[in-house]
Amino acid sequence: MAELDSLVEESQTVQGDGYVEVSYDDAIPNNVDLGSDRQLLRALEKWHPGYLDWWQQMGPDGFQDLDVYLRTAVGVDPAGWAKFGYVKMPEYRWGILLAPKQEGRTISFGKHKGEPVWQEVPAEYRSLLRRLLVVQADTEPASVEQQRYLGKTAPSLYDMRSLFQVNVEEGRHLWAIVYLLVKYFGRDGREEAHALLERRSGHQDNPRILGAFNEATPDWLSFFMFTYFTDRDGKMQLAALAESGFDPLSRTCRFMLTEEAHHMFVGETGVGRTIDATLAAMNKAGITDPYDVDAIRALGVVDLPMLQRKANFHMSVTRDLFGSEISGNAAAAFSAGLKGRYNEAKLEGDDHQLENATYPVIRVLDGKLVEEEVPALRAINSRLLDDYIKDCQGGIDRWNKAIEKAGINFRITQPHKGFNRRIGEFAEHRISPAGEIVSEEAWLASIDQWLPTEDDLIYLNSLMKPCHEAGAYASWIAPPRMGINQQPVDYEYVKIV
């Protein structure tokens, strides 16, 4: 039940007046009446073959002609928006789905607070909005590229299916934002949509826009950490954009959040099952010291100190995605009513304009970490990062509960906000996970305890042996407590022929 509970907890509900018919008769499934806008339809039909080429070149390597048990969105009603069935990935029905319009919705923050939301892009905010869309859109295909080779080493068919589910949905997220670019930004939008298929994760000359999306995802523990920590950045960004005064963006993001919940579920349960396998193996071998690493690795499982180092890495690079803690761009996007705070419309206790408000930001001043009250408008990114860090803790607590229950003296923790940062307030400083500013020498002397080592990655890589038989699971990961869509855990989630 734990998995179901956390899934429910992660779910964002799509609010509105309920079910909107999705047309699957068209080449591009949609609930935006695409057929009535010939120009838009033509532009998207032109983009479609390029997308499919990109999917073949940069989507999952292999497995493209196999039947995969996938969910496809068939509506936007939270009570029943997906159907499950075998699909070959290239035939997946990527579609354009917006959450229902909320009649009478008004802008809930910034200079235009209280005005009706916009159905068209205000001319004065055109370039700012376009940039926000492109940066978000770029992350969607990037993660598919990063995860391209993982199918080959999947620890079970269940996990392989989860990977492919996440991949096709990230592909749909790209569609979702390309729709906005093409519909509302004319020629510029079409050019941006094209460029989104050209950039490549990790490419030297034409990389993806944000750093974390150019890191490799070489193994399955990285994949689970990524879906827990980095997809959660996606959740926070989408949630902030779901508050937007530009209504089509808000509606797009609200539906994307419904899918995003599953990605974080894959991450939380994936790391959780990795921990479960470790605890079971330690218990069976009578090992109680989590730092008895050689003995634990001999059992073919992931030792907890390495798991912590992996988590430290993924948390720190993901925190960089929030941008500079103090940011004029974020202030501009907020004041313009384009991107709000997390849960903006429901926040109580301030005026949602923040002209005179302050927000406490941790900064490095005179070689010390100090909390400084900063104009709240300029601290929007800092606040979203704080909300993100809080949001990360739930799953970590559940992992720790399992460790505690097994009687092992170890806790997974979040490193200090300033640890291993390349962007923002802490970028020029060396800060330990405990939150001390340290010298370069001290940093180098301890780095092997804080971030994954060469040895860690070699060992991790040695565990990545494929397990491609229904019901079989690799040594380092426990089977899930329940299957997908009430299927058994030994279901043939991918038909390997």
Site for Fe ion, rule CB under 5 A: 140, 170, 173, 231, 234, 260, 263
In the complex, the smallest distance separating the C-beta of residue 80 from Fe ion, rounded to whole angstroms, is 21
In the complex, the smallest distance separating the C-beta of residue 262 from Fe ion, rounded to whole angstroms, is 8
Closer by beta carbon to Fe ion, 87 or else 256:
256
In the complex, the smallest distance separating the C-beta of residue 196 from Fe ion, rounded to whole angstroms, is 13
Closer by beta carbon to Fe ion, 94 or else 426:
94
Closer by beta carbon to Fe ion, 170 or else 243:
170
In the complex, the smallest distance separating the C-beta of residue 227 from Fe ion, rounded to whole angstroms, is 7
Q: Assess contact for 109 and 352: CB atoms under 8 A.
A: yes
**Cα–Cα nearest to 230, from 315, 113, 341:** 315
Closer by beta carbon to Fe ion, 263 or else 319:
263
Nearest-angstrom CA–CA distance, 268 and 246? 32
The two tokens of residue 345 are 């419309």
In the complex, the smallest distance separating the C-beta of residue 234 from Fe ion, rounded to whole angstroms, is 5
Environment class of residue 445 by beta-carbon count within 10 Å: exposed (0-12), middle (13-18) or buried (19+)? exposed
Closer by beta carbon to Fe ion, 10 or else 170:
170
Q: Virtual CA dihedral for 279, 280, 281, 286, nearest 10 degrees?
A: 80
Closer by beta carbon to Fe ion, 197 or else 296:
197
**Cα–Cα nearest to 232, from 201, 268, 273:** 268
In the complex, the smallest distance separating the C-beta of residue 181 from Fe ion, rounded to whole angstroms, is 16
User: What angle, rounded to 10 degrees, do the helices at 247-285 and 2-10 form?
Assistant: 160
Residues facing residue 374 across a β-bridge: 359
Please count the helices (runs of H) and the strands (runs of E) in the chain. 14, 4
In the complex, the smallest distance separating the C-beta of residue 260 from Fe ion, rounded to whole angstroms, is 5
Q: Assess contact for 267 and 226: CB atoms under 8 A.
A: yes
Q: Assess contact for 422 and 212: CB atoms under 8 A.
A: no
Nearest-angstrom CA–CA distance, 14 and 32? 16
Closer by beta carbon to Fe ion, 176 or else 463:
176
